[in-house]
Chains A and B, each alone.
Chain A
Amino acid sequence: MKVTGSALLMKALVDEGVTTIFGHPSGIFFSPSESPSEHPFRYILCRHEQVAAHAAEGYYKATGRTGTVMVTAGPGATNCVTAITDALVDSMAIVVLSGQMPAGVMGGDVAQEADVVGTTRACTKYNFLVLKAEEIPRIIKEAYYIARSGRPGPVLVDLPSDVMTERAELRAYPESVAIRGYNPQVTGHPGQLKKAADLLAKAKRPVIYGGGGIIHADASEAFHDLVEITQVPTTLSLMGLGAIATDHLRWLGMLGTYGTYAANMCIVHCDVMIAIGSRFDARVTGTLSGFGKQCRIIHVNIDPTSIQRNVRVDVPIVGDVKCVLRDLNTELRKVKRHWEKDFEEWYAEIEGWKKRHPLRYEQREGVIKPQYAIDMILRLTEEYDPIISTGVGQHQMWTAQVYRGRHPRRWLTSGGLGTMGYGFPAALGAQAAFPDRLVLNIDGDGSFQMTMQDLCTLVEYGLPVKTFIINNKHLGMLRQWQQQYPTFPQVDVAHQPDFVKLGEACGVTGIRIERPEEVKAGIEKAINTPGPVVVDMLVARDESCLPVMPI
């Protein structure tokens, strides 16, 4: 039986298990005889394609299932480039389906035509241009496989409109894919695992440094086991937060440029470091010439290009984090050692660091300190086990510093690319995945203004995201950098919308909090109000995010 390309596409998506699609309409996906309303997906129409693509990222991070985006040709696809690049750098699995001009006229400078495959070649993990309708099922299968496997990443599929109307034989969805050039390593090399276990068995001052890879691999249970077996002090990068409960006894706090003093001192003074699902980003290592010279390093990562990239490593282990940790834990359980007792001196030293420079702020009368606002939001919502997203900037770093959570996949933030405007759409995407869960977007006034036009989308689809704008009427992080590097440009953005009125204009509840004594009640009111809420929290304008490790 012959059906159109668009019918083949819809069926392939159903067979792939897609339930939710974020996008902006494209007439080109549906041939005249098929109506979108017949399709079994929940289609969330966003006001800007960048929002749709970030929402797909948030959906993926919150669920572990590949996010799906559907956009039209030309500007629809190019509007996604920022989010696609964000997904590439932070290893988010999303598939972007973009409409395209008919293959027959491509390259002819038609209206709304853009070389999307060419444009996204550098920012996708892989992309496809479909030229024959019969290829669609195989390509969709490959696209989702490539996106989610190995080191996850964004995949774009460009679908010319004449391919969508072309008729081809309806066949069964492929059961498996075989790609010659792409075979991610799953199990770790047994010899390396043994070396790693030996190093840990002899370590006197070890530290565990985990990253986003633990979340992508759904390995937090195995990671937790590793910490329980070895009782080694543990830190996480920005992207790894949530891999272990923050109230765990061995938790050191986040490491890196805005990390805790104790975590960074551990990294600098350890004798063995085991890096899991992380990539030694510049924000973690600081100046590389001094990094990691004093210790032996074990590095577990599924991506061989992340290993020995910028830090010399003694025991590299290429493999899926969950698989490797399970095998490593088996080895470590054989080790005859009183882990906790052996590290008593190390623990004492760490306690000293924690006491010397704990994270602190001082909330006095008069004006709200942003750190206090964020700390209160997290404390008052902790019992609901919320999903939290952030924009980019000081508020992001403060939230990461005081983050409290017991489970993975509750923390959505843009790390590698640092995309302002990420927080709001990511929360939207996560809420679409979990309509009954409390989802918070802790945003900055600068970041929020980048993607705020989709407030109406929350109302349209009943997505009760609670947005807290930590409003200092500044691009705060840049203003902080200006103090250290005076050649920086001016960053004053005092003129901004009245966010409460803006929220109300979109049909969203608006709450303003201006004084410290209003904070608790205001937060409680926000989380108890049904439906989406925007909270405008006016905070001190000139706070700096500390500590800051010089880079």
Chain B
Amino acid sequence: MGRARSETRGFPVGGEEGMKEHTPVRRHILTLLVENRIGVLARIAGLIAAKGYNIDSVSVGETMDNSMSRVTLVVHGDDWVMEQVVKQLNRLVDVVKVVDLTEEDCIEREMILVRVNAESANRAEILRIADIFRAKVVDVTHRTYTLEVTGDAHKTQALLDLLRPFGIKELVRTGQIAIARASKAVSRKIERVPEGEEPVEQKSTTATP
């Protein structure tokens, strides 16, 4: 997490500090509307990697317009560098829109599939936990349960924390997807606005003069 760039070089090159004040490192969730084409995801991933950042998760799928896809990225970084990242993502030819949902009121979801050890003494307890989290059992053996659960990051993490003492054998996560609350829809203006609904003002993330 955070910047991986080395500070030592053979000779000073200048330009290392400057505008960057100490902004907090935190989790950023970005949603992008992009052309649905070969190489687009590679370019986005390359741009973020070039900054020395790790992508915590990425999720991508077609939108109602199948010539466009929606990408959701979760990256840990400091606010100032992330602002640069957002601007540079916007600059990419294949990226139509970028929204940083970090500050926004949005709905976040992730799905996880987790296989947990379930010896006979613990089976009931595990099922109770699953029930509390509204998780489904999708696979069962004499020694394990595989649970499927959907929720925001807090919920899925809470479930994993509760299951950990039993022994988690395997874990697969989709990564977060997010959608802004209806008052601030990202894709309204791009997709067709259904009859009878009002088009919504789009938030722009390009540098406003």
Contacts and interface: CB of A to CB of B under 8 A. Distances in A.
A316 B209 CA distance: 6
Interface string A176-204: 00011110000011011000000000000
Interface in A456-495: 481, 484-485, 487-488
Contact of A121 (B39, B91, B207): B39
A318 interface: yes
B91 A122 contact: no
Interface string A118-139: 1001100111010000000000
15 contacts: A121-B42, A122-B50, A126-B94, A181-B34, A181-B95, A188-B209, A189-B209, A282-B13, A283-B14, A288-B17, A305-B91, A311-B19, A312-B19, A316-B209, A318-B207
Contact of A310 (B19, B34, B92, B93): B19
A502 B128 CA distance: 85
List 10 A-B pairs, minimum CB-CB distance, nearest first.
Answer: A288-B18, A282-B15, A551-B14, A282-B14, A189-B209, A304-B207, A181-B96, A310-B18, A305-B87, A182-B93
A310 B11 CA distance: 20
A309 interface: yes
A484 B14 CA distance: 15
Interface in B75-132: 84, 87-88, 90-97
Given A188-B209, A305-B87, A316-B207, A310 B39 contact: no
B18 A311 contact: yes
A286 interface: yes
Interface string B24-40: 00000000001100110
Q: Report which residue of B35, B87, B88 has the largest number of chain A beta carbons within 10 angstroms of its beta carbon.
A: B87
Contacts of A146: 93
A287 interface: yes
A179 B209 CA distance: 23
A291 interface: yes
B46 to A, nearest CB: 5
A412 interface: no
A546 interface: no
B35 A281 contact: no
A464 B80 CA distance: 51
A122 B51 CA distance: 12
B13 A179 contact: no
Interface in A284-307: 285-289, 291, 303-305, 307
Contacts of B18: 285, 288-289, 291, 310-311
Contact of B10 (A122, A188, A488): A488
A180 B19 CA distance: 32
B38 A288 contact: no
A127 B11 CA distance: 34
A402 to B, nearest CB: 24
B42 to A, nearest CB: 6
Among B10, B14, B42, residue most surrounded by chain A Cβ atoms (within 10 Å): B14
Nearest to B38: A129
A121 B13 CA distance: 25
A312 B18 CA distance: 8
Most chain A beta-carbon contacts within 10 A, residue among B16, B93, B97: B93
Given A122-B50, A285-B14, A287-B14, 20 more contacts: A125-B93, A126-B93, A180-B35, A181-B95, A192-B209, A282-B15, A287-B17, A288-B17, A288-B19, A289-B17, A305-B84, A307-B207, A310-B19, A312-B19, A316-B209, A317-B209, A318-B206, A318-B209, A485-B10, A488-B10
Nearest to B207: A304
A182 B18 CA distance: 30
B188 to A, nearest CB: 15
A485 B35 contact: no
B134 interface: no
Contact of A308 (B10, B19, B90): B19
A3 B68 CA distance: 31
A311 B17 CA distance: 10
A18 interface: no
Contacts of B68: 180
A307 B84 CA distance: 10
Contacts of A189: 209
B91 to A, nearest CB: 5
Where chain A touches its partner, the secondary structure class is loop
A93 B48 CA distance: 25
Contacts of A286: 14
Contacts of A540: none
A168 interface: no
B12 interface: yes
Contacts of A481: 11
A182 B87 CA distance: 13
Nearest to B32: A181
A359 interface: no
A129 B39 contact: yes
A544 to B, nearest CB: 15
B173 interface: no
Nearest to A180: B96
A117 interface: yes
Interface string B151-169: 0000000000000000000
B38 A121 contact: no
A305 B88 contact: yes
Question: Taking each of B12, B18, B94, B206, which has the highest tally of chain A beta carbons within 10 Å of its own beta carbon?
Answer: B18
Contacts of B14: 282-283, 285-288, 551
A464 B111 CA distance: 67
Given A146-B93, A289-B18, A305-B87, A551 B39 contact: no
B138 to A, nearest CB: 35
A192 B87 CA distance: 20
B43 interface: yes
Interface in A224-244: none
B11 A485 contact: yes
Nearest to A189: B209
Contacts of A181: 34-35, 92-97
B71 to A, nearest CB: 12
Contacts of A191: 209
Given A303-B91, A487-B10, A488-B11, A117 B39 contact: yes
Contacts of B88: 305
Contact of A304 (B43, B50, B91, B97): B91
A485 B12 CA distance: 10
Interface in B183-209: 206-207, 209
Contacts of A121: 39, 42-43, 46
A551 B46 contact: no
Contacts of A311: 18-19
Contacts of B209: 188-189, 191-192, 316-318
